[in-house]
Amino acid sequence: MERLAKEIKIERKIMDYWNKRYFNEGKIWGELPSKSANLALNLFKKYNVKSILVPGAGYGRNSKLFSENNLKVVGIEISNIAYEIARKFDPKTHFIHGSVLDMPFDEEKYDAIYSFNILHLFMRKERFLFLNKCHAQLNDNGIVFFVVFSEEEKSKIVTYTLFY
């Protein structure tokens, strides 16, 4: 019981942090998708991806690129402020308000998962939990496209794509 209370407290801190950022800064990174989202879209088109899960979707700047290119997109976002912005900014995407560590929210499986700067936010145990939850929601032969920050990265996009 104590462990569950600790996990809830941590999730609450994460949600409070992001709510404060989105409340104060709005669309923090602008309205254009990231460069990596464009790379991912090209890969998804090449492999005929039809459905995509976007954990940590923020206010929808990357999910909107995918939904506007006729992909079925589901985004998950912990910040209720970002969730509300996203629903208006990217109405074609179905957004779920919740923690990516609580996935799955339904029985849906996806052709691809696009994760932008989420994985490095977790400690080791939560990283493995998140990765396992993503894997469980991926169709056979699905694609995962994860983008993370690195101290080694010098403004170059470095991506690793896995095919399952």
Q: What range does the domain containing 6 cover?
A: 2-163
Q: Is 60 exposed, middle or buried (0-12, 13-18, 19+ CB in 10 A)?
A: buried
Q: What is the per-residue pLDDT across 84-128, written as a single tens digit (0 to 9) for each?
A: 999 999 999 999 999 888 888 888 999 999 998 887 777 788 888
Q: Number of structural domains, the chain?
A: 1
CB 26 within 8 A of CB 88: no
Q: What is the per-residue pLDDT across 54-92, written as a single tens digit (0 to 9) for each?
A: 999 999 999 999 999 999 999 999 999 999 999 999 999
Given CA atoms 103, 105, 108, 112 in this order, what sign does their dihedral have?
Answer: negative
User: What is the CATH number for 12?
Assistant: 3.40.50.150
State mean pLDDT over 36-43.
95
The model scores a pTM over 0.85: no
